[in-house]
């Protein structure tokens, strides 16, 4: 007889085993529509193996394929990309997956979008993370969906993927494949217009030969400069920020360009300034040739080819701001002329005027310079090449004269440089009559002689009763002082005179007398 207790135990065990298998089957496939969240294998999460037994989980042995943007694996802020997830396991016929995207600090990153709602679904779960996973596990082993990157990512993004492959519904013989995939953040490319190229001229003129200083006025993160200063520039091109010194060798409008670049982004931009500056020609000047004049002469000088002029030195010119001037230099002088045209461009030229000194004439009288009326005197001149006496027109270096009264004779001498000078000499004439009656005037005394202190004395005899006239002459016959003399001591004050011979001419109603005075400084 069968023991009822044994039978009951067998039935109980069978029921327990059946229920265990039934619930195990439910455990394995109760997520076949869409798995619970936090099963992606991301930090702090489980994998598909938490719901599926068997050989779980397995590292990715090329069974789990993840393709981002057709293999690019790079993203830019705010852009949307296609992602493909494929599970390969030839021995299995049902498949599923779950994925989430996290930042480097494990915060949710971006937003998934379903492209095929029949096999893909979305859910939000652990720590606010978004999950995309299979919907209704089936024989489909590949899913395509989209992901939109964050607007302001702080770095690379990691996608965590957990997948499952099973033989048939209800089978516990499943394989779980887990992997993670990182896509690289590409910082936004700086638009070209954020590099603003600009330049200007900090100093310099606009004329041929002027040094023009170009300065960079660009903005942006710049580490490269390429300049082209246009036709005729020296240098033609340059690198570096500057400033750059440029000289142009030909006139005309110049096109100048500057390219700036940022090696970190690869960006560059170029500015071309058409007709940025106009280089003007310098005045082409014509001027008087260098010349030679004589001392105390003047000469007309000219310059042309510009609109305004400045002559220097101006002291010996009649004006210093015109094309034509009259120059009267006392010594050899070079005049510098700065001429400026209407474009403000200037050129310099010079004219040299050499000044030859006048000849120094030496005129003398053979014998005494005082003669009696009716007598003759012989005059001689040296110091020049040729001579002409004014009184007679004689061109000899010596002449004989017989003046009736005191007379000054003038002669002009010309040297080898055609420079002329004029000199004169005075011949004093006395009547030489009634000398006995006026012997006391002939006893006149003068001292000191030589004169050194701008005065001297004339002493007439104490018994001299007439009034005497005194005339004081230079040797050229120029009257320096006149005075009346009386008997006794007469002080004669004279101006500061050059050293040399002078003549004291004394006369009264009866007689004339000439005394030679020497001024010694």
* Mean pLDDT over each residue of the chain, to the nearest integer: 85
- Say if CB 361 and CB 389 are below 8 A apart: no
Does a structural domain hold residue 7? Answer: no
Query: Would you place residue 391 in the very low, low, confident or very high pLDDT band (cuts 50, 70, 90)?
Result: confident
Check which CATH number belongs to the domain holding 306 and give it.
2.60.40.10
Both tokens assigned to 89:
């396991």
**Which residues are CB-contacts of 198 (< 8 A; sequence separation ≥ 6)?**
216, 217, 218, 219, 258, 271
Distances (CA, A) of 284 to 248, 302, 428, 480: 17, 14, 63, 56
Does a structural domain hold residue 345? Answer: yes
Last residue of a domain, one of 185, 207, 224: 185
Same domain, 444 and 505: yes
Q: Residue 370 and residue 380: Cα distance in Å, rounded?
A: 15
Pairing verdict, β 130-134 and 142-148: unpaired
Asked if pLDDT for residue 388 goes beyond 90, the answer is yes
Asked if pLDDT for residue 440 goes beyond 70, the answer is no
Q: Residue 365 and residue 385: Cα distance in Å, rounded?
A: 20
Same domain, 149 and 75: yes
Last residue of a domain, one of 396, 430, 464: 430
Does a structural domain hold residue 310? Answer: yes
Q: Residue 115 and residue 133: Cα distance in Å, rounded?
A: 12
- β-partners of residue 517 are 502
Both tokens assigned to 335:
């005049």
Return the higher-pLDDT residue of 76 and 53: 76
Asked if pLDDT for residue 147 goes beyond 80, the answer is yes
Q: What are phi and psi of 439, to 5 degrees?
A: -60, -25
Q: Report CA Rg, the chain.
A: 63
What DSSP state is assigned to residue 231?
T
Does a structural domain hold residue 77? Answer: yes
Tell me the torsion sign for CA atoms 98, 104, 107, 112: negative
Q: Is the pTM of this model over 0.75?
A: no
- Say if CB 470 and CB 460 are below 8 A apart: no
What is the pLDDT averaged over residues 5-19?
48
Same domain, 309 and 213: no
- 492: Cα separation from own chain's centroid: 73
Same domain, 348 and 417: no
Last residue of a domain, one of 153, 185, 217: 185
**Nearest-5° angle of CA 387, CA 392, CA 394?**
35
Does a structural domain hold residue 24? Answer: no
Asked if pLDDT for residue 169 goes beyond 70, the answer is no
Query: Would you place residue 449 in the very low, low, confident or very high pLDDT band (cuts 50, 70, 90)?
Result: confident
Distances (CA, A) of 174 to 10, 93, 218, 308: 31, 10, 65, 104
Same domain, 506 and 483: yes
Same domain, 176 and 241: no
pLDDT tens figures, 225-245? 999 999 999 999 999 999 999
Same domain, 61 and 149: yes
Q: What are phi and psi of 383, to 5 degrees?
A: 110, -5
Buried b (16+ CB within 10 A) or exposed e, 279-310: bbebbeeebbeeeebbbebebebebebbeebe
- Say if CB 480 and CB 492 are below 8 A apart: no
Asked if pLDDT for residue 32 goes beyond 60, the answer is no
Same domain, 44 and 106: yes
Q: Residue 321 and residue 335: Cα distance in Å, rounded?
A: 13
pLDDT tens figures, 282-327? 999 999 999 999 999 999 999 999 999 999 999 999 999 999 999 9
What DSSP state is assigned to residue 138?
B
- Say if CB 168 and CB 114 are below 8 A apart: no
Same domain, 478 and 369: no
| DSSP-assigned letters across all residues of 19-38 | HHHHHHHHHHHTTSSSPPSS
pLDDT tens figures, 329-370? 999 999 999 999 998 899 999 999 999 999 999 998 876 778
Does a structural domain hold residue 238? Answer: yes
Range of the structural domain that residue 424 is part of: 362-430
Same domain, 52 and 158: yes
Check which CATH number belongs to the domain holding 36 and give it.
2.60.40.4060
Q: Which has the closest alpha carbon to 139: 95, 174, 169?
A: 95
Q: Residue 38 and residue 124: Cα distance in Å, rounded?
A: 9
Both tokens assigned to 464:
């001299």
Same domain, 70 and 176: yes
Does a structural domain hold residue 120? Answer: yes
Asked if pLDDT for residue 59 goes beyond 70, the answer is no
Largest CA distance in the chain: 218
What DSSP state is assigned to residue 520?
-
Total number of domains constituting the chain: 5
What pLDDT is recorded for position 478? 84
What is the pLDDT averaged over residues 37-48?
91
- Say if CB 399 and CB 423 are below 8 A apart: no
Asked if pLDDT for residue 250 goes beyond 80, the answer is yes
What pLDDT is recorded for position 165? 87
Same domain, 62 and 199: no
Does a structural domain hold residue 228? Answer: yes
Q: Residue 191 and residue 197: Cα distance in Å, rounded?
A: 13
């Amino acid at each position: 007889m069968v023991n009822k207790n044994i039978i009951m135990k067998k039935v109980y065990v069978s029921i327990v085993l059946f229920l265990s298998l039934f619930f195990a089957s439910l455990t394995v496939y109760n997520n076949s529509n869409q798995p619970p969240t936090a099963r992606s294998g991301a930090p702090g999460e489980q994998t598909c193996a938490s719901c599926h037994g068997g050989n779980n989980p397995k590292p990715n042995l090329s069974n789990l394929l993840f393709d981002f943007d057709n293999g690019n694996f790079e993203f830019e802020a705010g852009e949307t990309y296609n992602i493909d997830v494929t599970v390969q396991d030839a021995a299995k016929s049902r498949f599923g997956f779950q994925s989430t995207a996290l930042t480097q600090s494990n915060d949710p990153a971006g937003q998934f979008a379903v492209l095929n709602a029949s096999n893909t679904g979305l859910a939000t779960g652990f720590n606010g993370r978004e999950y995309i996973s299979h919907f209704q596990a089936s024989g489909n082993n590949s899913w395509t969906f989209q992901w939109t990157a964050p607007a302001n990512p702080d770095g690379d993004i990691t996608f965590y993927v957990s997948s499952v492959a099973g033989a048939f519904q209800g089978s516990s013989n499943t394989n779980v494949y887990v992997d993670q995939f990182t896509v690289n953040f590409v910082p936004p490319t700086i638009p070209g217009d954020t590099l603003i190229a600009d330049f200007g001229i900090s100093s310099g003129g606009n004329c041929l030969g002027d040094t023009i200083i170009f300065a960079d006025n660009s903005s942006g993160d710049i580490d490269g400069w390429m300049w082209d200063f246009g036709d005729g520039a020296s240098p033609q091109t340059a690198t570096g920020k500057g400033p750059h010194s440029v000289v142009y060798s030909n006139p005309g409008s110049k096109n100048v360009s500057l390219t700036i670049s940022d090696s970190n982004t690869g960006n560059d931009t170029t500015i071309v300034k058409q007709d940025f500056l106009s280089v003007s020609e310098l005045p082409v000047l014509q001027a008087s040739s260098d010349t030679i004049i004589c001392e105390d002469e003047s000469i007309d000088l000219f310059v042309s080819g510009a609109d305004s002029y400045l002559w220097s030195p101006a002291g010996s010119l009649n004006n210093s701001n015109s094309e034509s001037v009259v120059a009267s230099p006392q010594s050899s002088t070079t005049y510098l002329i700065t001429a400026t045209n209407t474009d403000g461009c200037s050129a310099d030229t010079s004219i040299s005027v050499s000044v030859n000194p006048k000849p120094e004439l030496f005129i003398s009288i053979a014998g005494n310079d005082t003669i009696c009326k009716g007598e003759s005197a012989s005059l001689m001149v040296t110091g020049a090449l040729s001579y002409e006496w004014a009184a007679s027109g004689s061109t000899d270096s010596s002449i004989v004269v017989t003046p009736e009264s005191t007379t000054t004779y003038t002669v002009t001498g010309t040297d080898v440089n055609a420079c002329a000078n004029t000199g004169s000499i005075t011949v004093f004439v006395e009547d030489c009559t009634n000398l006995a009656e006026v012997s006391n005037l002939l006893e006149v005394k003068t001292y000191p002689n030589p004169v050194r202190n701008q005065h001297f004395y004339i002493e007439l005899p104490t018994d001299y009763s007439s009034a005497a006239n005194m005339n004081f002459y230079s040797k050229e016959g120029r009257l320096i002082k006149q005075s009346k003399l009386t008997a006794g001591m007469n002080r004669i004050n004279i101006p500061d005179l050059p050293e040399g011979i002078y003549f004291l001419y004394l006369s009264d109603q009866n007689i004339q007398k000439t005394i030679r005075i020497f001024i010694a400084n």
